[in-house]
């Protein structure tokens, strides 16, 4: 057994001695890398996947109850507590949750509304009932506030108005008040919409509780004031939105002009800067129009028509008396005693027509371009001579930019003269000191990571393939040496018995008894030389 182990040790030593120092270092580094990678993989794969035992934010009391029950059931050391969450292995989650729920855990740290569905006793006084009801409302309201994104926990204190028999003139005495402390998650900040949502939830959940009677603060004693539409937070938010819109429009125009002029003149020969003035006034108007159905004849549809005709014919006595002799009569006018002959005819057409009644609610666009300025720097063909940029080229560039300015200002409905368009454009020759990089809308971080990761995998695969090929080649050479006939070394006689003669005898003996080791030794000497 010892001889076989010695043979294997000598073979391994001979095999390892065939490699140079660089090859040994490469093999050692690759082996260490594979061992570390495999160890990490086995460690990560063998670790249990911890998940929250109960979803939602638990209170400190809930965590303490769960911990106490798990320790009592012999599950100690197999769970983790992170903040207000209890983490257990995923394979044990549902069994543990079912067992704890059957025992009524977690019970919570307050009275809930479901207490009224239970037998709370017939001897409860009105004062006791009010206390239980208020505590239940506080607990339910705290649970409701925890559902808001960013709120980890909440404490609520309500002051309910006293019910009185007589009506008091002071209306404030009949309103409730609320004091709330919210525990915000680390790294998060409640925005204006979330703060307003908290105030609305509390105000709508408690009777007779106006928003001005609510006080909300975070765990850092910072007041969370409600934000109105005209508040500073709203104004800042609108400023950021308008600034982003303005910047996006400027960058779009600048990028398009840069690409177009760069294609014509060269990427490194032109630079474009655009400034845009926007109008963010939002207009809304209502129009009630009445239009004829038949626009050609300007008439509506006849819905009813009526024609009335009246005729009269009669013969009476002649006028009597002396003309103009009465006190109330006009001198020379015939007397009024008679009527004489008379005829009467009347024709009337009544036509009712229906017209189109159009009601329009027109909302103007929230922003439009009031003014635009475009400045273009062009590198002359000869950077040392700005005059080498011909006026003809400048005029063509200015004409092309004029179309862009005219199209951008078309929403105003005003016709601009050519001089007004040219005043908004500036084209000047300028020698550039460096290359202009056109802004790109997106980065290629993930693509670079994928490329470098692929290169790394290819390099590792190449190293592994080189080691395998090298090992197979060495095995083939070793088999050839073992299958070769034993080397016959003739007996040599030496006159002197010095050190060289002793070394030669040892080599001769090694070549006869162990030819494979002798060949490996020769290869090592040749490699070192």
pLDDT band at 340 (very low <50, low <70, confident <90, very high): low
Q: Residues for the chain: how many in total?
A: 529
The least confident of 90-94, 273-277, 500-504 is 500-504
Mean pLDDT of 13-32: 81
Q: Give the CB-side neighbour count of residue 472, counting CA atoms within 13 A.
A: 6
278: β partners: 369
Contact indicator for 228, 234 with CB cutoff of 8 Å: yes
pLDDT, tens digit (0-9, with 9 covering 90-100), for 406-435: 888 887 777 888 888 888 888 888 777 654
DSSP string, 248-292: HHHHHHHHHHHHHHHHHH-TTSEEEEEEEEEE----EEEEEEEE-
Name which residue leads in pLDDT, 77 or 223. 223
pLDDT band at 325 (very low <50, low <70, confident <90, very high): low
299: β partners: 294
The whole-number pLDDT of residue 77 equals: 73
Helix ranges, 82-180 (H): 93-102, 126-146
Name which residue leads in pLDDT, 367 or 278. 278
Assess whether pLDDT exceeds 80 at residue 448: no
The whole-number pLDDT of residue 13 equals: 79
The whole-number pLDDT of residue 489 equals: 46
Q: Could you tell me the pTM of the whole model?
A: 0.33
Distance from C-alpha of 207 to C-alpha of 163, rounded to nearest angstrom: 13
Distance from C-alpha of 495 to C-alpha of 435, rounded to nearest angstrom: 84
Assess whether pLDDT exceeds 60 at residue 336: no
In terms of average pLDDT, the best of 45-54, 215-224, 467-476 is 215-224
Mean pLDDT of 21-39: 84
The angle subtended at Cα 287 by Cα 281 and Cα 288, nearest 5°, is 165
Mean pLDDT of 142-163: 85
Assess whether pLDDT exceeds 50 at residue 440: no
The whole-number pLDDT of residue 300 equals: 76
The whole-number pLDDT of residue 412 equals: 72
Q: Does residue 360 come out as left (phi exceeding 0), alpha (psi in the -120 to 50 range) or beta?
A: beta
Assess whether pLDDT exceeds 80 at residue 259: yes
Assess whether pLDDT exceeds 60 at residue 319: no
Helices and strands of the chain, counted as H and E runs: 12, 13
The angle subtended at Cα 295 by Cα 293 and Cα 297, nearest 5°, is 105
Name which residue leads in pLDDT, 249 or 305. 249
pLDDT band at 350 (very low <50, low <70, confident <90, very high): confident
Name which residue leads in pLDDT, 338 or 348. 348
Distance from C-alpha of 455 to C-alpha of 432, rounded to nearest angstrom: 37
Mean pLDDT of 319-327: 55
How far from 250 is each of 77, 441, 478, CA to CA, in Å?
60, 13, 74
pLDDT band at 181 (very low <50, low <70, confident <90, very high): very high
The whole-number pLDDT of residue 49 equals: 80
The least confident of 170-184, 227-241, 507-521 is 227-241
Distance from C-alpha of 303 to C-alpha of 308, rounded to nearest angstrom: 17
Assess whether pLDDT exceeds 70 at residue 400: yes
Q: Which residues, including other chains, have CB under 8 Å from residue 162's CB and lie 6 or more apart?
A: 173
* 3-state secondary structure (DSSP) of residue 156: strand
Token pair of 235, please?
């104004």
The per-residue pLDDT of the chain, averaged, comes to 76
DSSP type of residue 37: H
């Amino acid at each position: 057994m010892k001889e076989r182990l010695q043979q294997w040790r000598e073979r391994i030593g001979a095999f390892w001695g065939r490699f140079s120092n660089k090859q040994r270092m490469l093999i050692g580094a690759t082996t260490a890398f594979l061992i570390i990678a495999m160890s990490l993989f086995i460690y990560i794969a063998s670790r249990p996947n911890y998940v929250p035992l109960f979803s939602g934010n638990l209170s400190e009391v809930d965590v303490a109850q769960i911990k106490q029950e798990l320790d009592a059931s012999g599950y100690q050391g197999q769970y983790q507590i992170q903040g207000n969450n209890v983490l257990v292995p995923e394979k044990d989650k549902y069994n543990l949750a079912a067992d704890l729920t059957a025992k009524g855990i977690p019970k919570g740290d307050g009275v809930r509304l479901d207490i009224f569905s239970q037998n709370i006793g017939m001897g409860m006084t009105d004062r006791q009932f009010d206390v239980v009801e208020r505590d239940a409302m506080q607990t339910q309201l705290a649970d409701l506030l925890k559902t808001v994104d960013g709120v980890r926990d909440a404490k609520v204190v309500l002051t309910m108005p006293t019910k009185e028999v007589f009506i008091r003139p002071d209306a404030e005495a009949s309103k409730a008040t609320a004091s709330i402390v919210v525990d915000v998650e680390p790294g998060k900040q409640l925005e204006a919409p979330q703060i307003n949502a908290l105030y609305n939830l509390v105000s709508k959940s408690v009777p007779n509780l106006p928003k001005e009677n609510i006080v909300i603060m975070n765990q850092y004693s910072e007041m969370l004031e409600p934000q109105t539409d005209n508040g500073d937070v709203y104004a800042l938010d609108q400023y950021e939105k308008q600034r982003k819109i303005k910047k996006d429009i400027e960058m779009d125009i600048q990028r398009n002009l840069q690409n177009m002029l760069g294609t014509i003149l060269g990427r490194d020969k032109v630079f474009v800067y655009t400034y845009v003035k926007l109008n963010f006034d939002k207009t809304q108007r209502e129009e009630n129009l009445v239009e004829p159905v038949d626009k050609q004849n300007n008439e509506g549809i006849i819905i009813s028509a009526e024609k009335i005709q009246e005729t009269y014919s009669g013969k009476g006595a002649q006028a009597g008396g002396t003309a103009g002799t009465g006190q109330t009569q006009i001198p020379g006018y015939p007397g009024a005693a008679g009527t004489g002959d008379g005829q009467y005819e009347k024709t009337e057409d009544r036509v009712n027509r229906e017209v189109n009644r159009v009601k329009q609610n027109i909302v103007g666009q929230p922003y439009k371009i009031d003014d635009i300025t475009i400045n273009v720097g062009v590198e002359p063909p000869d950077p040392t001579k700005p005059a080498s940029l011909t006026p003809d080229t400048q005029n063509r560039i200015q004409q092309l930019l004029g179309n862009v300015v005219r199209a951008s200002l078309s929403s105003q409905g005003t016709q601009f003269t050519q001089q007004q368009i040219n005043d908004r454009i500036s084209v000047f020759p300028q020698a550039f000191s460096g290359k202009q990089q056109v802004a790109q809308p997106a980065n290629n971080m993930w693509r670079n990571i994928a490329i470098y990761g692929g290169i790394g995998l290819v390099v590792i695969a190449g190293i592994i393939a080189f080691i395998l090929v090298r090992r197979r080649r060495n095995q083939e050479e070793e088999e050839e040496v073992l299958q070769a006939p034993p080397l016959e070394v003739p007996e040599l006689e030496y006159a002197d018995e010095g050190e060289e003669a002793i070394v030669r005898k040892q080599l001769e003996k090694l070549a006869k008894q162990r030819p494979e080791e002798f060949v490996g030794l020769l290869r090592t000497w040749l490699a070192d030389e």
